[in-house]
Chains A and B, each alone.
Chain A
Amino acid sequence: MKIRSVLRLAALVAFVGAMATGGGARADDVRIIGSGASFPFPIYATWFKSFSQETDGVTVDYQAKGSGAGIQDFINNTVQFAASDAAMSDEEIAQVKEGVVLLPMTAGEIVLAYNLDGVDELKLPRDVYPDIFLGKITKWNDERIAKANPGVELPDEPITVVVRSDSSGTTYVFTKHLSAINEDFKNGPGVGKTVQWPANDKLVKAPKNDGITATIKQTPGAMGYIEYGYAKLTGAKTAMLENKAGEFVSPSAESGSAALASAEFPGGDLPGEPGTPDLRVWVTDPAGEKAYPIATFTWMLFYKNQDPAVAKALREMVEYSLTDGQEMADKMGYIPLPDNVIAKVREASKLIQ
């Protein structure tokens, strides 16, 4: 693994070196390399592929290494842009001397997928699903689940909880939500890209979104959190969750947009970056009646100052993602950005110079 990452780095270095000397490539060709979050990878890959095809002389490559690795690459200046589900912390921003522009580009929902024969609709109250992930509710026919689902026949089976084994932005957003609504969760596992889940034999970990999805599909009585797009793709059953207003909402593009609509941007500038709006916002527990409770933006990270040709290409890429790109979002299981957010992002993207 070490060797592979070294090789990859070597390839990257060689590639960047070749680019710097213009080795063989046409002078007006712009190649943009990005790396980072895997959560939005399916939609980013589609965007960048069609953008590269439709734009002459610009190619965009994106590697889904994970948010943390993306931020690392961005700080080390080995990429032209990066992507992260957890945006960037103030300390991380301070390490980038070229200046940082953070833009929310798309958004997603995290759903609780389950595998229970004969149960097609499952409602989970706010005080119940954190307790499932804390290992306090262990059986499907627990009276607290039964109370919320009158008329549904719940089996006397253990709940197998499936969580991520690798470090992940999805886990970060999910635990942030659970910590916001449940005091025990906040003081227990807490918030993080990996957390210390309660150790019991009914909690298993699987790698990546697809690993969790496969494990849930193969395990009767399993439940786990995945990105909405993966559930949509595989047809996994998803639970309706009780939101802050007390309504049970199933995940969809509309309920996701409703959640994002309640997002209030901090309004100030990024720390240490006067003139750059701070577009970091977390929708940990949206208030709207129709809002699905677990939704999040995901960000792209850009340098403020760089080669003008690259900057122009990056601005075009952002514009493409904001227009054509948003139309693809729903189909792929992501939430299109609300119009007011698009306007803000478009305005801020002008700072990429």
Chain B
Amino acid sequence: MATNPFAQAVSVESMSGPPSQSDYLVDRGFRLAAVVGAAIIILLVVYILYEIGGQALPAITEYGLGFLVSSTWDVSRQEFGILPEIWGTLYSSLLALAIGGFFGITVAIFLTQNFLPARLAAVLRTIVEMLAAIPSVVYGLWGIYVVIPAIRPIANWLHDVLGWVPFFSTSLSGPGLMPAVLVLSIMILPTVAAISQDALNLVPYKVKEAAYGMGTTRWEAILRVLVPTASRGIFGALVLGFGRALGETMALAMLIGNSNQISLSLFAPANTLASLLASNFPEAGQIEVQALMYAALALLAITLVVNIVGIGIISVATRKQKA
């Protein structure tokens, strides 16, 4: 009987069978840890909102919604408003997203679609990712000493020749929106590029093969098949990049000129919420701190809206794709 293969198979209990007591324990423990971890993150966000909201409450009751549409920030008269900062935050982030997003996705396509030998692509990928490791203040200094002098002649030529276009209506003296946007777009480029690369790499190889099999050219395959298939991930990359742009502080505080005005001109100084917070927090008195907390709350709200809109766009896009 010893040679009976069935008996042998049946006797292998360790391979299958009901989960043991310890399996249940590990399973439960893991589930508990995951739930607790997730709950802590949610509670932390709620707590941050509660804390900031609580500190902002006096300012909210005092200034109301007028705070969001007034453009004075005068501590000695205790008049506060953040419209120029909201404008500057959105304007600079959108422009940076347009530039950084375009180059980020281009880099991602270039590095994933066999344009380069795999080893060289890996090296370039690391270099792009290293951009994310450069401290913000170094970007700021680089902006002051390199970017501004480099773009000043171009900006002032544009102003001289095309001064009637609202975007070029002022000359660039030094700090201003354009240098800030350029530096910001470089700062968000690694985020966009890295996540887009992951998204493109996740597209199953057979999809690409099928596209080529249908007789598409390389560019048709990339632009019509691969990028749309990876669009969910690429959108995610753009939303993350935009979030990074909204919250970027130090480099912007050094480059944007921190001027409380609303101007369409790319060369005029502007201000952002994060820069306002960074500049004014250290020496703010009690009432100004409340106003700053209100501004921080507005920044959080903007980030939240951006994320929700991003998720909305992604779900609409994927639904369309399926249909």
Contact = CB atoms under 8 A, between A and B. Distances in A.
A1 B279 contact: no
Given A199-B259, A218-B144, A204 B278 contact: no
A192 B260 CA distance: 17
Contacts of A201: 170, 173, 176, 259, 261, 263, 265, 267-269
A222 B282 CA distance: 26
Contacts of B171: 158
Interface in B228-269: 249, 253-254, 257-261, 263, 265, 267-269
A298 to B, nearest CB: 15
Contact of A207 (B174, B254, B265, B285): B254
Interface string B116-149: 0000000000000000000000000100110011
A205 B258 contact: yes
Interface string A193-213: 111100111111111000100
Nearest to B72: A196
A118 B130 CA distance: 42
Contacts of A205: 257-259, 269, 271, 279
Contacts, number: 115
A201 B278 CA distance: 22
Given A203-B269, A204-B269, A192 B76 contact: yes
Interface in B248-304: 249, 253-254, 257-261, 263, 265, 267-269, 271, 275, 277-285
Interface string A214-239: 11001101100000000000000000
Contacts of A66: 282-283
B173 A202 contact: yes
Nearest to B48: A2
Nearest to A211: B254
A287 B28 CA distance: 82
B167 to A, nearest CB: 13
Contacts of A78: none
A194 B269 contact: no
B173 A222 contact: yes
A68 interface: yes
Nearest to B280: A167
A201 B284 CA distance: 26
A69 B145 CA distance: 31
Given A167-B282, A194-B75, A207-B279, A222 B259 contact: no
Given A199-B259, A211-B254, A204 B173 contact: yes
Residue with the greatest number of chain B CB neighbours at <10 A, chosen from A66, A194, A195? A194
Nearest to B52: A2
Chief secondary structure at chain B's binding surface: loop
A190 interface: yes
B175 interface: yes
B74 interface: yes
A199 B258 CA distance: 11
B278 A1 contact: yes
B278 A219 contact: no
Query: Looking at chain B, what size class is its interface with the partner chain?
Result: 35 or more
B269 A166 contact: no
Contacts of B253: 165, 207
Contacts of A162: 174
B63 interface: no
Given A1-B281, A199-B261, A218 B173 contact: no
Query: Looking at chain A, what size class is its interface with the partner chain?
Result: 35 or more
A196 B79 CA distance: 10
B102 interface: no
Nearest to B278: A1
Interface in A138-197: 158, 160, 162, 165-168, 190-196
A68 B283 contact: yes
A190 B76 contact: yes
A206 B254 contact: yes
A196 B173 CA distance: 21
A80 to B, nearest CB: 21
Nearest to B141: A214
Interface string B68-86: 0001111111000000000
Nearest to B277: A1
A221 B267 CA distance: 16
Contacts of B76: 190-192, 194-195
Nearest to B71: A199
A250 interface: no
Given A1-B277, A68-B284, A166-B280, A193 B269 contact: no
Contacts of A315: none
Contacts of A204: 173-176, 257-259, 269
Contact of A206 (B175, B261, B284): B175
Given A68-B284, A199-B260, A218 B145 contact: yes
Given A160-B174, A201-B170, 5 more contacts: A69-B282, A162-B174, A167-B284, A207-B278, A222-B174
10 nearest A-B residue pairs (beta carbon): A167-B283, A219-B174, A205-B258, A160-B173, A204-B257, A192-B76, A165-B258, A66-B283, A201-B268, A68-B283
24 contacts: A66-B283, A68-B283, A160-B174, A167-B283, A190-B76, A191-B76, A194-B74, A194-B76, A195-B75, A196-B72, A196-B73, A200-B261, A201-B170, A201-B176, A201-B267, A203-B269, A204-B174, A204-B269, A205-B257, A205-B279, A206-B175, A207-B258, A214-B141, A218-B149
Interface of B: 71-77, 141, 144-145, 148-149, 170-171, 173-176, 249, 253-254, 257-261, 263, 265, 267-269, 271, 275, 277-285
